[in-house]
Amino acid sequence: MNRHWKHSLKPYLLILPALFLAGLFAYRPFVITLLNSLYTVSINGQRIAFVGLDNFRRLFVNESFQTSLSNTLRFTLYFVPVNVFICLSAALLSHREGKLATLNQICFFLPMAVGLSSAMMILKMIFNPFIGIVNQLLGISVEWFNNPNAAMALLVIAGVYLDIGIKFLLLHAALRNIPANLVEVATLEGANPLQLFKYLQLPLIAPTLVFVLATNIKDAMLISSPVLILTEGGPFRSTQTLVYQMYLEGFKSGNYAMGSAIATVVFFLTFLLLLALLQIERRRVYYQ
């Protein structure tokens, strides 16, 4: 009997660490965040009084929040297509044979080797309007950190730089996995590169593309670290995003209730956007 118990208990013991971590650092904080968003919370993180949806009501009339919400959605709207376009271009353009092609491919995934904060420090320096090299090489005088539109553009550039390495690799691998004879036949039948892409390559890499889109939407909705290092939300809150505001509310102002309410909004908004993507996918993408 004893041995039997030991035997049947074993699998549970083996998955216990994973279960414990899932509970402690995923489900418990999730429930706490949802609860906190419905309460007033002390600076020590103790819930004081149930206030229903009051936090959300206050949030949605809060000007700073409206700015964060619109900035985050705008960032997502700019970042996702720009990033997909650049990563896909990199994958398509370097989908060739030869030494130069290999060199191009290495260049495209090299940004992966640069850590987030290193990359942001480099961008901060080279986009400096006074002494930075970018303005000078392009012969422009854009105030990257003082002009709201330029700062948003810079944030998009930063996002692309952080993401291009891995997304290039994924898309490139998807292109390489298309059977060569299919491409050959299509070319022999006289398909031009555009037709080749539209009717053969695009449908076959669609599943990878959906994965890229989904992670991009999620990353864009949650963007915070680049904001923190690069622009600190400025100028005039023009790059203040939702998670950045959550960080400010929670850690700078000690306002856990508001921070939790923002986290809840981000969570559901991201979830909805991903659901919408999956709906489109179900109708448009065919898996082999």
Distance between CA atoms of 270 and 99, rounded to whole angstroms?
41
Which listed range, 52-60, 76-84, 123-131, 141-149, lies at the site for other proteins (CB under 8 A)? 123-131
25 lines the binding site for other proteins (CB under 8 A): yes
Nearest to 148 by CA among 260, 67, 39, 248: 67
- Residues in contact with other proteins, shown as a per-residue x/- string from 194 to 213 under the rule CB under 8 A: --------------x--x--
33 lines the binding site for other proteins (CB under 8 A): yes
Nearest to 220 by CA among 148, 136, 277: 277
Rg (CA), the chain: 24
The residue assigned the tokens 């149930």 is 50
Task: Return the C-alpha torsion angle 223, 227, 228, 230, nearest 10.
Answer: 140
The residues in 132-161 that bind other proteins, with binding defined as CB under 8 A, are 132-133, 136, 161
239 lines the binding site for other proteins (CB under 8 A): no
The Cα-based distances of 234 to 67, 154, 155 in angstroms read 12, 12, 11
Residues touching other proteins: how many (CB under 8 A)? Answer: 92
Phi, psi values for residue 141, rounded to 5°: -135, 55
Which listed range, 11-19, 53-61, 74-82, 183-191, lies at the site for other proteins (CB under 8 A)? 11-19
Which listed range, 68-76, 145-153, 248-256, 278-286, lies at the site for other proteins (CB under 8 A)? 248-256
Binding residue (CB under 8 A) for other proteins from 67, 69, 155, 172: 172
59 lines the binding site for other proteins (CB under 8 A): no
The residues in 249-278 that bind other proteins, with binding defined as CB under 8 A, are 250-251, 256, 259-260, 263-264, 266-267, 270-271
The residue assigned the tokens 């609860």 is 35
Binding residue (CB under 8 A) for other proteins from 77, 125, 182, 185: 125
Other beta carbons less than 10 A from residue 72's beta carbon: 27
30 lines the binding site for other proteins (CB under 8 A): yes
Pairing of strands 39-41, 47-50: antiparallel
Which listed range, 77-85, 100-108, 147-155, 182-190, lies at the site for other proteins (CB under 8 A)? 100-108
218 lines the binding site for other proteins (CB under 8 A): yes
